């Protein structure tokens, strides 16, 4: 049964393709139409065997539009070059670089990462003690922080601070 359906499907596809080719080819030709004209003649004048007359009508081809000549472009008059004003030199921006502020912090023995983060925040080394404590725990250095007095600056990164606290 499966082969039968496959055959029917193949024949159907072939018919669709063939029909499409025929339609495409017939579109290229000038269409002609057979018109059957039946004349109505009164009974008194009607011939014995009236036969319909076939007339072939061919539509007139539509004239192709003639391209309009394009006018030649007229050269535009060139304006006289005006002397450009010389721009005034702009001064280079001045960057004011302040020396980082040195901050000394004493870390007592036995201080955990949370206590150290609180000390660093209270002395102005970091702005968020909880974020620093979370970072120290995340990188796995919460148990190797050292005690002592350390010098920091106010613009150090968390990695730089850990570098100082862990030697």
Convert the pLDDT of each residue in 26-50 to its tens digit: 555 555 555 555 555 555 554 555 5
Identify whether the C-beta of residue 38 lies closer than 8 Å to the C-beta of residue 54. no
- Confidence label for 59 from pLDDT (cuts 50, 70 and 90): low
Residue-wise DSSP of 43-78: TTT--SS--PEEEEE-PPPPPPPPPPPPPPPPPPPP
pLDDT at 71: 65
pLDDT at 8: 72
pLDDT in tens, 121-154: 999 999 999 999 999 999 999 999 999 999 999 8
Give Cα separations from 43 to 21, 47, 48, 75 (angstroms): 49, 9, 10, 80
Identify whether the C-beta of residue 167 lies closer than 8 Å to the C-beta of residue 141. no
Per the rule left: phi > 0, alpha: psi between -120 and 50, beta: everything else, 110 is left
Q: Give the span between the Cα atoms of 107 and 162, in whole angstroms.
A: 13
pLDDT in tens, 65-105: 666 666 676 667 676 777 777 777 778 787 777 788 899 99
Does the pLDDT of residue 64 top 60, yes or no?
Answer: yes
Q: Where are the alpha helices (DSSP H) in 45-167?
A: 113-122, 129-138, 158-166
């Amino acid at each position: 049964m499966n082969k039968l359906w496959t055959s029917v499907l193949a024949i159907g596809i072939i018919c669709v393709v063939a029909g499409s080719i025929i339609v495409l080819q017939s579109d290229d030709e000038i269409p002609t139409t057979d018109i059957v004209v039946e004349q109505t003649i009164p009974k008194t004048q009607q011939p014995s065997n009236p036969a319909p007359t076939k007339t072939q009508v061919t539509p007139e081809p539509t004239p192709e539009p003639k391209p309009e000549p394009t006018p030649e472009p007229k050269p535009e008059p060139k304006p006289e070059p005006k002397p450009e004003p010389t721009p005034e030199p702009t001064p280079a921006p001045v960057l004011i670089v302040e020396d980082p502020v040195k901050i000394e912090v004493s870390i007592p023995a036995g201080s955990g990462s949370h206590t150290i983060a609180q000390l660093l925040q209270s002395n102005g080394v970091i702005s968020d003690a909880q974020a620093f404590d979370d970072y120290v725990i995340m990188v796995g250095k919460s148990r190797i922080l050292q005690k002592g007095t350390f010098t920091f600056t106010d613009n150090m990164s968390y990695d730089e601070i850990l570098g100082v606290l862990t030697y």
